[in-house]
Amino acid sequence: MSGTMFDRIWDSHAIADLGEGWSLLYLDRLLVHDLSGGRAMRELAEKGRRVAEPNKVFAVPDHAISSAPGRTEHTYPKGAALLASLRERSKAEGVRIFDIGTPGNGIVHVVGPEQGIVLPGLTLACGDSHTCTNGGMGALAFGIGSSELVHALATQTVPQRRPGTFRIRYEGVRPAGVTAKDMILAAIGRFGAAAGTGMAMEYAGSAVRAMSVEERLTLCNLSIEMGAKTGMVAPDDTTFEYLAGRPFAPKGATWDAALADWRKVPSDPGARFTRDEAIDMAELAPQITWGTSPEMVSDVTGHVPTLEDTVPSRRAGLEAALRYMGLEPGQKIAGTKVDWVFIGSCTNSRLSDLRAAAEVLKGRKKAEHVTAWVVPGSEQVKADAEAEGLHHRFREAGFEWREPGCALCVAANGETVPSGARCVSTSNRNFVGRQGTGARTHLASPAMAAAAALAGAIVDVRSY
């Protein structure tokens, strides 16, 4: 027994040992979205089966829904059909749906924690790779494919192979301008986009303990960009305070029982991890990606690598990335002209993200040539932000204040960054074509994105 939080949750959910490291895992919660949820439930019906435990399944349409102000489900007609199918199947199966425009809707990985659906010590799966976000609550949360989703709906279980464990300890005090997003991007840059393959990440250390829940969710969100199965942060009083009173969190005596269990979730002090690394916070600076993989990242003060900096087997990849991004080897990153700014996505669309971006604006206006969008992560985030007047501050700076959803992060809703345009985005993937054919994505924190909108170029937020 290695005593890690991950192994503890895994072992307590393993119904059967299937051999060779495989277990049949019980799933405490299952989340579905519009892109695959309706289809998965239809497939299930075609197999003559029903959803095994509908009260543990939550449907949250988010992917193929327009984020345009005043949108309806018909604004993006291809998405309307998916939503209709999700609604129809959810109703037929008795699955709760947080429909668009109603309280509780938003990006599925924003909604889970916000509604108290995800709790410490639980297992959770969703047909989306960024399900690892929910590990910020101290849950074991991972993404699955559509076939696995059908299996999960039919049985409330899924066979999985136990990954190894990889802990990153962030030690020290966070320097100015460094956010959770910078911390995880720096780790991906240091260890590589495949470092977490076959691993469950645990993020620990003094800088993580000092984080808010929303920051922990951001940290865990990019675990998949390191290739990891999941990312987790030990639940603590910060987590418990966040959860108290949320709609699906336990109440009264049940809360007390839950709390007693939750306190046993964190890794033992002497827990052994397959891999253990430490990052000194003092070394970190605001990050910005320059390439087409999240590992192609640098301090904002840095330069694009040269061919000589790069191992021979990766030079062709570097050249292809820079060609796509319209950058030169060795070029200084700051000062690169930006056309678009997107603040949103399951990485960085929560209230604290929007506050951080608004804080940078300080009454200033975006550069004229920049198109700047803010897409709040959920109806709740939107309402909370509007109650503080954040929407006015964004609008006064020339940003569009839009409706909740995945929007420009995955571009599955008809919204894209034009070909050749350069976008500083608070999302999680800078892949070729991710934000639209030919779109050039630079990943950064909300504060860095806001600063880029003001300057019309990539800039160091610390000088803004």
Partner 1 sequence: MEAFRIVEGTAIPLMEANVDTDVIIPIQRLVGSGREGLGEFAFERRRYLPDRSDNPDFIPNQGPYKGSGILLADENFGCGSSREGAVWALMGMGVRCVIAPSFGDIFFSNCFQNGLLPVRLPIEAIRRIAEQTEESPGNARTTVDLERKVVITPRGETIPFAVDDRKREAMLDGLDDISLTLKQADAIAAWREQDRTERNWAWESVV
Of 100-119, which residues contact partner 1 (CB under 8 A)? 116-117, 119
Site for partner 1 in 126-165 (CB under 8 A): 127-129, 143-148, 150-151, 154-157, 159, 161, 163
Question: What is each CA distance from 26 to 123, 147, 152, in whole angstroms?
Answer: 7, 17, 9
Strands 287-289, 371-374: parallel, antiparallel or unpaired by DSSP? unpaired
Cβ closest to partner 1, residue 105 vs residue 131 = 131
**Closest CB 105 distance from partner 1, rounded Å:** 18
Contact 304, 327 (CB under 8 A): yes
Cα 326 from Cα 318, distance rounded (Å): 12
Cβ closest to partner 1, residue 225 vs residue 379 = 225
DSSP, collapsed to helix, strand or coil, labels residue 294 as coil
Site for partner 1 in 212-231 (CB under 8 A): 224-225, 227-229
Cβ closest to partner 1, residue 20 vs residue 237 = 20
Cβ closest to partner 1, residue 197 vs residue 212 = 197
Helix residue spans in 156-275 (DSSP H): 180-191, 206-209, 213-221, 237-243, 252-262
Which of 45, 194, 244, 278 binds partner 1 (CB under 8 A)? It is 194
Which of 32, 35, 284, 390 binds partner 1 (CB under 8 A)? It is 35
Site for partner 1 in 244-273 (CB under 8 A): 248-251, 254-255, 257-258, 261
**Closest CB 382 distance from partner 1, rounded Å:** 24
Site for partner 1 in 405-434 (CB under 8 A): 410-412, 429, 431-434
Task: Write each residue from 39 to 68 as x if it is in contact with partner 1 (CB under 8 A), else as -, in one continuous string.
Answer: x-------x-x-----xx-------x----
Please name the residue that has the structure tokens 């977490």. 196
**Closest CB 52 distance from partner 1, rounded Å:** 9
**133: which 2 tokens?**
């976000």
Cβ-based burial of 328 (10 A; exposed 0-12, middle 13-18, buried ≥19): exposed
Compute the radius of gyration of the chain from its Cα atoms: 21
Site for partner 1 in 163-192 (CB under 8 A): 163
CA 61 to chain centre: 16
Cβ closest to partner 1, residue 249 vs residue 325 = 249
Cβ-based burial of 463 (10 A; exposed 0-12, middle 13-18, buried ≥19): exposed
